[in-house]
Amino acid sequence: MTVVICRCEDLTEDDIVEAIEKGYDELETLKRHLRMGMGPCQGKSCIPLAERILCRETGKSPDDIREPTSRPPNKPVPFALLASEEVDDHE
């Protein structure tokens, strides 16, 4: 049975295990290699699941796993907002 971990990027548990076996043994490197957490959910569901898989596969404890770097936008932003020509001087 295929278990989907990241629905935004269509990543499965097998994809994550394969990446760990290739040497991507940190949450940050997994995220960058697989684009995990870069979809609309911004990793709210897949990063904790990937952390559990990483602990299981490497034998690391959750305390040994560093959280991946968070970069703006931390929340999904509508594209229209970014493309808008209007400038709001009050924010």
Strand segments (E) across 1-91 = 4-6, 11-12
- CATH classification code of 4-83: 1.10.10.1100
Q: Domains of the chain: which residue ranges?
A: 4-83
Please list the pLDDT of the chain residue by residue as tens digits (91 residues). Answer: 889 999 989 999 999 999 999 999 999 999 999 999 888 888 889 999 999 999 999 999 988 888 877 666 567 778 787 786 766 666 5
pTM of structure = 0.72
